[in-house]
């Protein structure tokens, strides 16, 4: 789908979510969208990423490792910070997701296209996130809905997409079947529906409140994350545009998909919605400044 059209549709869906909240009619569609994305889009995209996208980006292993190491380290540190502060499961999981799981292609991809730079680094970083999310989300948020880690993983459909991707990767398939491309495209376009949930969440909890927890999310997203990414990138030998992409990714706002996870696991949706609303303009400004520095 054309980038401009995607932006327009995203805006309209966000607006629709807000309007439906005002009409007190958002719940049926919100429930359907949450189930669709968790049960269809995320498993399909995870499967396709591992089976068909990952092999083409093995050469950019330093970018892949930067994303994966940051995700795993961030989840562990933030989860135990939440435990230390005595937060319940719903707040602890929402805090961790909002701090670590970000919109990986939100600004880096259009900026790369506008600047005439390679998009391979952006795609590679996004691949690392898709893989990490399939493993980490049920580990952190699943306990809020299921008893025990095993039940958490078994009730998280994207994990099956990860397993299917590994199996497909091991098969002697030398090209992408047309049905795989079609299903992946359908799943990717369906993710735009997450903006309906974002609009509904922001409208329901409007105005966004900067609580102590929200302030910690913003501090992590826009101070700690860039520092950690910079250190990892240098240690792993990234420089030039590759380093620039990693730094751009490090300041992006929380992913809209976090709203889906919040509804699916009954987390503190207000915290995630507020941090998306507050973090997005900050991330855009930081991203534009960084893009000027790496031009």
pLDDT digits (tens, 9 = 90+) for 163-203: 999 999 888 766 778 888 899 999 988 888 888 888 888 88
The overall average pLDDT reported for the chain is 87
Question: Domain coordinates of the chain in residue numbers?
Answer: 3-294
- Residue 205: pLDDT over 80: no
| Lowest mean pLDDT, pick from 40-49, 54-63, 91-100, 104-113 | 104-113
| Lowest mean pLDDT, pick from 23-27, 66-70, 233-237, 285-289 | 23-27
Alpha helices in the chain (DSSP H): 3-22, 27-36, 42-48, 61-84, 89-100, 108-115, 120-141, 149-154, 157-170, 178-190, 194-204, 212-219, 225-235, 240-250, 257-265, 269-294
Which pLDDT score, from 0 to 100, does residue 295 have? 62
Residues 6+ apart with CB under 8 A from 292: none
State the architecture of 3-294 in CATH terms: Up-down Bundle (1.20)
Nearest to 263 by CA among 185, 212, 186, 197: 197
Which pLDDT score, from 0 to 100, does residue 147 have? 60
Q: Which of 25-39, 86-100, 146-160, 194-208 reaches the highest mean pLDDT?
A: 86-100
Per the structure block, which two tokens stand in for 190?
């369906």
Which pLDDT score, from 0 to 100, does residue 219 have? 96
Largest distance between two CA atoms of the chain:
53
Per the structure block, which two tokens stand in for 73?
């380290």
């Amino acid at each position: 789908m054309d980038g401009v059209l995607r932006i327009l549709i995203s805006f309209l869906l966000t607006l629709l979510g807000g309007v439906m909240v005002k009409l007190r009619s958002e719940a049926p569609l919100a429930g359907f969208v949450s189930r669709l994305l968790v049960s269809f889009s995320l498993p399909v995209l995870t499967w396709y990423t591992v089976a068909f996208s990952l092999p083409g980006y093995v050469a950019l292993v330093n970018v892949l490792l930067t994303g994966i190491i940051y995700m795993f380290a961030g989840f562990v540190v933030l989860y135990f910070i939440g435990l230390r502060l005595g937060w319940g499961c719903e707040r602890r999981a929402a805090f961790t997701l909002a701090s670590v799981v970000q919109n990986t292609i939100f600004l880096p991809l259009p900026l790369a296209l506008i600047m005439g730079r390679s998009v391979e680094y952006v795609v590679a970083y996004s691949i690392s996130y898709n893989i990490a999310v399939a493993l980490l989300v049920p580990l952190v948020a699943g306990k809020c809905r299921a008893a025990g880690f095993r039940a958490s993983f078994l009730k998280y459909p994207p994990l099956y997409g990860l397993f299917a991707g590994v199996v497909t990767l091991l098969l002697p398939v030398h090209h992408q079947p047309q049905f795989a491309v079609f299903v992946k495209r359908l799943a990717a376009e369906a993710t735009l529906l997450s903006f309906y949930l974002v609009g509904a969440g922001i409208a329901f909890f409007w105005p966004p409140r900067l609580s102590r927890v929200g302030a910690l999310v913003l501090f992590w997203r826009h101070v700690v994350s860039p520092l950690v990414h910079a250190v990892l990138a240098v240690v792993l030998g990234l420089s030039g545009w590759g380093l620039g992409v990693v730094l751009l990714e490090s300041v992006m706002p929380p992913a809209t998909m976090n709203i889906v996870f919040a509804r699916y696991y009954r987390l503190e949706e207000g915290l995630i919605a507020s941090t998306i609303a507050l973090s997005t303009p900050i991330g855009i400004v930081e991203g534009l400044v960084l893009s000027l520095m790496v031009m």
